[in-house]
Amino acid sequence: MYGGGTTFDGAGADTVASEDPGRLQAFEARIALGEKIEPTDWMPALYRRQLIRMIEQHAHSEIIGALPEGTWITRAPGFKRKLSLMAKVQDEVGHAQLLYSAAETLGKTREEMITDLISGKSKYSNIFNYPAYTWADACFISWLVDAGAIVNQLANAKGSYGPYCRALERICAEESFHLKYGHHCVIYLAAGTPQQRAMFQEALNRWWQPMMHFFGPADKLSDHTRILMKWKVKMATNDAMRNQFLDMYVPKILELGFTIPDPKLAKNPGTGVWNYTEPDWEEFKRVIQGDGPCNRERLEVRRIAEARGRWVREALRSPRAVYSMPLA
Ligand code: BYC
């Protein structure tokens, strides 16, 4: 188990045993019919908790995800790349706003979510805890991390919770621009000098394993998939999403002449399932529990941003108080 100790089969707090059976049955019937559940509808407490957990982690991933690419805005090669990257990073922060709003409909405030992020209580995507050393690392994120996100989000946009699905639909529209931008950046490197090609190959070597981790633990290790799929919050398992990403993007990476750093990677033509070297799940566990190469730095940046923006939030809440604040 990787998570905060939730169990769905036992008699712990995270079961539906205490729910009214009639209401639960009606709720599950609506989901089976493909209806959307809206914030004021009845829902099991576990559905609410699971959605808050997942949407909140997704929102955190968007604002923390803005950091590794954000550091490349001033160093992106050329004015047009700077403009495009700036727009992309702004979009990612906007996605966090949409997702925090969706999570708030379930009863957790934005302040509580931010507090849980900067205290280290809440998780966010593993992949943003790795450093973006070179421009090619930023290109990897814009192309392939966004590609992975689209695979996940297009599927889950057809899920059961209305506010999350609507946020995902809008996010996917913007992500498709990011994907095109990222692909263009990588094609440019691929068609460039041997040094530019080598730079992207090195980025691919560094980011491949975190990318495999991005879709979550192997199904047999996943704590939450079963209940989330039953209630159509997740529309495919972690392994199925990983497989779909490999199906769509391995050919595109190979077509640019790069080598994927996994000698076992091959598609079984009979089953359509990709075989690959099992990613190091111990490393995944360490990273999502706070001990990756950049976790401390990422959270520190958020803490500083939170402290610097406090006066703005206080001013919005109580404009008069601002006049009596000492100048910083
Ligand atoms: N990273 O039972 P499981 C972007 C945790 S941002 C960290 O399989 P679940 C972008 C999991 O939370 C978009 N932790 O979980 C932004 C759980 O721990 P807890 C990112 C992970 O929820 C800027 C435990 O492991 N996309 O694209 O059924 C620039 C057990 O896992 C991860 C999303 O956030 C991970 N990768 O499935 C560029 C998508 N995987 O909570 C790009 C929304 C697992 O029990 N989220 N864990 O303590 C999801 O679809 C699902 O939450 C996951 C995991 C598929 C990620």
Write the DSSP string, 44-63: -HHHHHHHHHHHHHHHHHHH
Ligand 1 — pocket residues by CB below 6 A? 2-4, 6, 53-54, 57-58, 61-62, 65-66, 69, 92, 123, 125-126, 141, 145-146, 149, 152, 213-217, 222-225, 228, 234, 238, 288
CB within 8 A of 290, min separation 6: which ones? 120, 296
> The tokens of 118 are what?
């900067």
Banded pLDDT at 210 (limits 50, 70, 90):
very high
Q: Which of 55, 90, 125, 130 to mutate to test the pocket of ligand 1 (most atoms within 8 A of CB)?
A: 125
pLDDT per residue over 192-202, tens digit each? 999 999 999 99
**Does the reported pTM lie above 0.85?**
yes
User: How many CB atoms lie under 10 A from the CB of residue 255?
Assistant: 10
Domain ranges of the chain: 26-323
Q: Which of 54, 71, 171, 175 to mutate to test the pocket of ligand 1 (most atoms within 8 A of CB)?
A: 54
pLDDT higher than threshold 90 for residue 319 = no
| pLDDT, position 7 | 39
CB within 8 A of 32, min separation 6: which ones? none
pLDDT higher than threshold 70 for residue 85 = yes
Choices 3.30.465.10, 1.20.1260.10, 3.30.360.10, 3.40.50.720: CATH for 26-323 = 1.20.1260.10
Does residue 214 contact residue 208 with C-beta atoms inside 8 Å?
A: no
Does residue 237 contact residue 229 with C-beta atoms inside 8 Å?
A: yes
Q: In this predicted structure, which of 8-17, 97-106, 236-245 has the lowest mean pLDDT?
A: 8-17
Q: From the CA of 78, how far away is ligand 1's center (Å)?
A: 34
pLDDT higher than threshold 80 for residue 13 = no
| pLDDT, position 4 | 46
| pLDDT, position 317 | 87
Q: How far apart are CA 234 and CA 158, in angstroms?
A: 9
| pLDDT, position 168 | 98
Compute the CA torsion angle 133, 138, 139, 145 (nearest 10 deg). Answer: 120
Banded pLDDT at 10 (limits 50, 70, 90):
very low
Stretch 82-100: mean pLDDT: 98
CB within 8 A of 136, min separation 6: which ones? 189, 196, 199, 200, 202, 203
Q: From the CA of 215, how far away is ligand 1's center (Å)?
A: 7
- The rounded mean pLDDT for the chain is 94
> The tokens of 197 are what?
């090609």
How far is residue 47 CA from its own chain's centroid?
20
Q: Identify the three-state secondary structure at position 288.
A: helix
